[in-house]
């Protein structure tokens, strides 16, 4: 399984566990598990942060912090692997340019795969 798939599945699994624990409601507007309905990735990520006591992570703009929030290895090697999966063409050196591109691509792909992501996170 690729890094992006791990990110996506972690978000989906968290959203599904919230819905199963509260079948009358949903994960902050997310509607996982129901065919044709999207998961609000932004709200799920906010929920994970709240569960963890709102750690000092800038997961809305940092790929490193997003991966840390999801309890994933955010090392340069893993980000290089993600860059390869997503088709990054620049130097895979962990630069700000690479990391910003990775975060934007992850958010765009979450949105393209049925996730609800605020437009400012996909621009």
- pLDDT, tens digit (0-9, with 9 covering 90-100), for 94-121: 999 999 999 999 999 999 988 888 888 7
Q: Which domain holds residue 91?
A: 3-20+32-114
Domain count, the chain: 1
The verdict on residue 83 lying in a domain is yes
The verdict on residue 7 lying in a domain is yes
Q: Is the pLDDT of residue 30 over 60?
A: no
The verdict on residue 119 lying in a domain is no
- CA atoms of 88 and 60, how far apart (whole Å): 20
Nearest to 18 by CA among 60, 48, 42: 48
12: tokens are 């989906």
The verdict on residue 121 lying in a domain is no
pTM: 0.82
The verdict on residue 97 lying in a domain is yes
């Amino acid at each position: 399984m690729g890094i992006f798939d791990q990110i996506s599945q972690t978000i989906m699994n968290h959203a599904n566990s919230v819905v199963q624990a509260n079948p009358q409601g949903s994960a902050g507007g997310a509607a996982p598990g129901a065919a044709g309905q999207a998961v609000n990735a932004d709200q799920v990520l906010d929920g994970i942060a709240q569960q963890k006591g709102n750690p000092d992570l800038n997961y809305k703009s940092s790929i490193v912090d997003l991966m840390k929030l999801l309890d994933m290895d955010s090392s340069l090697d893993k980000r290089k692997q993600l860059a390869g999966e997503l088709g990054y063409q620049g130097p895979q050196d962990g630069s700000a340019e690479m990391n910003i591109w990775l975060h934007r691509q992850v958010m765009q792909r979450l949105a393209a795969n049925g996730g609800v992501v605020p437009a400012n996170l996909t621009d």
